[in-house]
Amino acid sequence: LFMSVAPFPAEACPDLANAYEGLGLPDKALQSHQRCLSLDPSKPDLKFYLARAYEKRDRLKAAEKLYLEILASVPVYSDASLGVARIRMAENRYVEADKLVNEVLYRTKGHVDAYLLAALIADRSERREQAKVYIREAIARAPDYADLYRTLGHWCHQDKDYDCALRAYTKLGDLEPENAEARAKLAEVRGLTP
């Protein structure tokens, strides 16, 4: 309804797509993102939302094309750089992904999602200890970001560092008390801790 009367429908459009995502209607969400971009193809944010929607659906080439278009016009658009870095990581091109993430970290002085991505890249390229350093830096900057604790807990559990896993899963449980998987992980680690 708002889209039909809004003076600037492109401004409202991403909310419509997000509503479809929340309802579990990914195809409708993707169509909405495409519609949004058609309303104002000059807006980098609308390109970003559509690129992210493509990426979530493993349409990486379509996502990459849009991310690169954004960066051609706005070279400091950090989230587009991170989008390209995620695609490079998916292609096992870790050096390129690392370079993009480090540029964002340098430019932004601590973008939390860049730290998380740097951690994932480090882990996939078999640098677990460096990955944990990045994740802990992200936690220091965003102590209520549940995915950070989920990732750290998983790595600590794999490394048999049960005290670390216990702390991470306890915090995750505090942040997501209704999450059954988080409660199960916490119970499992408690059983392994002396």
pLDDT confidence tier of residue 28, bands split at 50, 70 and 90: very high
pLDDT for 7 equals 67
Report the predicted TM-score, pTM, of the whole model to 2 decimal places.
0.87
**How far is Cα 162 from Cα 122, in angstroms, rounded to an integer?**
21
145-181 pLDDT per residue, tens: 999 999 999 999 999 999 999 999 999 999 999 999 9
- Average confidence score pLDDT of the chain: 92
Note the pLDDT tens digit of each residue in 99-126: 999 999 999 988 999 999 999 999 999 9
Q: Quote the tokens at residue 150.
A: 């989920």
